[in-house]
Amino acid sequence: MDLGAMLKGRHVLVTGASSGLGRHFAQLCARHGALVTVGARRRDRLEALVEKLLELGAEGAQAVELDVSDVASVQRAVAGASMASPLDVVVNNAGIADNRPALDIDEALYDAVVDTNVKGVWAVSTEAARAWRAAGRPGAVVNIASVLAHRVAGAVSIYAATKAAVVQMTAAHALEWARYGIRVNALAPGYISTEINEEFFQSEPGLALIKRIPMRRLGQLEDLDAPFLLLATDASRWMTGTCVTVDGGHTVSGL
Ligand SMILES: NC(=O)c1ccc[n+]([C@@H]2O[C@H](COP(=O)([O-])OP(=O)(O)OC[C@H]3O[C@@H](n4cnc5c(N)ncnc54)[C@H](OP(=O)(O)O)[C@@H]3O)[C@@H](O)[C@H]2O)c1
């Protein structure tokens, strides 16, 4: 089965596409001929990405300014994205981490992490699902969770809690929306090597962490491609409410 070919001509909205995983997913979709709308707060980065997506062969590519923690911004972005053509797939990728010990987290940081990671997924998913239901169109939602939805680590307490919420919201939305032909699944990546964490993973604690991954390496962005394509396309037509973990075995490491 050619998973990539199943994305051709589909309209995919990727949130948090101005860097990291979101940028990668947007490029992956573009390479397979999807129409891609990229959303995030940093407009300049999105404009540069759109140029790249067009080069990669996206049938169309566009940027929408989007703050997922602001419902009005989400409504504008989903409406703006859908003007070119109705959405087929929504990828809730925008996310931030707290990176502080629990006792050092203040209300502002708590709100920022919860509003981005949980309220953001809720706002974008429900906005898209309402439009799909009204139009009688099927749709697919892919929520980017994390292995920290299932296990814990130091200095990511709120992040871990929000990712567990994303997995549970995935199941709850899947249950309610299956009747409308809307599938909702989550992808839970383990530690993926990106520019942002490159330095940490060369340090002693970073190398120690890698040793705890049964497959003894970090994930590469490309390791997510096939699972992502599976969830984003009709290849997973009888899957909904699931969470697919892609982590080199990290969540099954021995205690
Ligand atoms: N990297 C990993 O190892 C890893 C592992 C498991 C899960 N994840 C998950 O993967 C997703 C992407 O992470 P990443 O590592 O690629 O991080 P990243 O490079 O920091 O990217 C985060 C993206 O989210 C966007 N964003 C943040 N707040 C936003 C908001 N309020 N509204 C709209 N966009 C917002 C940022 O864009 P702007 O700042 O321009 O808005 C950025 O494009 C996150 O959900 C993360 O939890 C990552």
| For ligand 1, atom 14: residue with the closest CA | 20
* Residue 132 confidence (pLDDT): 98
103: tokens are 């006792």
* Identity of the amino acid at 107: E
* CA distance readout (Å), 28 to 1, 83, 119: 17, 22, 26
pLDDT at 39: 98
Provide mean pLDDT across the span 102-117: 98
Q: How confident is the model at residue 195 (pLDDT cuts 50, 70, 90)?
A: confident
Give the confidence band of 59 by pLDDT, cuts at 50, 70, 90. Answer: confident
- Model pLDDT, residue 112: 98
- Sign of the CA dihedral 77, 78, 79, 81? positive
- Would the CB of 125 count as within 6 Å of ligand 1? no
- For the chain, the structural domain boundaries read 4-191+223-244
- pLDDT-derived band at 196 (thresholds 50, 70, 90) equals confident
Region of poorest pLDDT, from 50-59, 76-85, 185-194: 50-59
Please report which confidence band the pLDDT of residue 244 belongs to, taking 50, 70 and 90 as the band edges. Answer: very high
Residues 6 or more apart whose CB falls under 8 angstroms from that of 138 comprise 88, 132, 180, 181, 182, 183
pLDDT (tens digit per residue) in 177-191 = 999 999 999 999 999
Mean pLDDT value of segment 229-246 = 98
- 159 is a catalytic site residue: yes
Q: Provide CB contacts within 8 A for 130, sequence distance 6+.
A: none
- The second-level CATH assignment, the architecture, of 4-191+223-244 is 3-Layer(aba) Sandwich (3.40)
Which of 13, 25, 41, 198 should be mutated for ligand 1, with most atoms under 8 A from CB?
41
* Residue 26, token pair as written in the block: 């947007």
Spatial CA neighbour of 228 closest among 249, 246, 250: 246
Q: Which of 69, 82, 159, 236 does the annotation list as catalytic? A: 159
When pLDDT is averaged across residues 33-45 and rounded to a whole number, the result is 97
Q: Residue 169 — pLDDT band, cuts 50, 70, 90? A: very high
Burial of 12 (0-12, 13-18, 19+ CB in 10 A): buried
- With a pLDDT cut of 70, the percent of the chain lying above it is 100
Pick from 167, 153, 151: nearest CA to 117:
167
